[in-house]
Structure 1
Amino acid sequence: MRIPVRFAPLLFGALLSAIMVSLVSAFVLLVNQGLRPDFLGTWARSCATTWPVAFLAVTLVAPWVRRVVARMTA
């Protein structure tokens, strides 16, 4: 299945935020609670509740970051 290119920024934000939330929430849970029997369920709930916030942040902030990087690089 191919997604139209006009949705590329949203797809980028969705994938980047999902990967970041998954990695960071797993790390934080492991550091704070250790590897417990309910780790996967807790991790899944953490990802599900924080991903929408991360998606909005990445989607809204990415254009600004691209402009800043363009000004900082030659």
Structure 2
Amino acid sequence: MFGLGKKRSKLGKWLDHRGITQQKLSKDSGVNNNTISRLATDDEYLPTMRTAQRILKAIRKIDPDVKQDDFWSM
């Protein structure tokens, strides 16, 4: 079971819905697991532009239609 009852951000919910682990996203994007964890639980935390681009590049391999605004309002 993903999420385990924790508060989830839009990114966290997206990962849970698709059965993707934070560790997999971390590995695929090259972004530190602690950063992915914080982004998956805290809607107020905004990544740097470079980090967001790395995450989106990895996510778009699964869903090419994903936009930055789906997760973060920057």
Structure 2 length as normaliser, TM-score? 0.30
Q: Relative to total residues, which structure has the larger helix share, 1 or 2?
A: 1
Structure 1 length as normaliser, TM-score? 0.30
Q: Which has the higher contact order (CA 8 A, sep 6+)?
A: 1
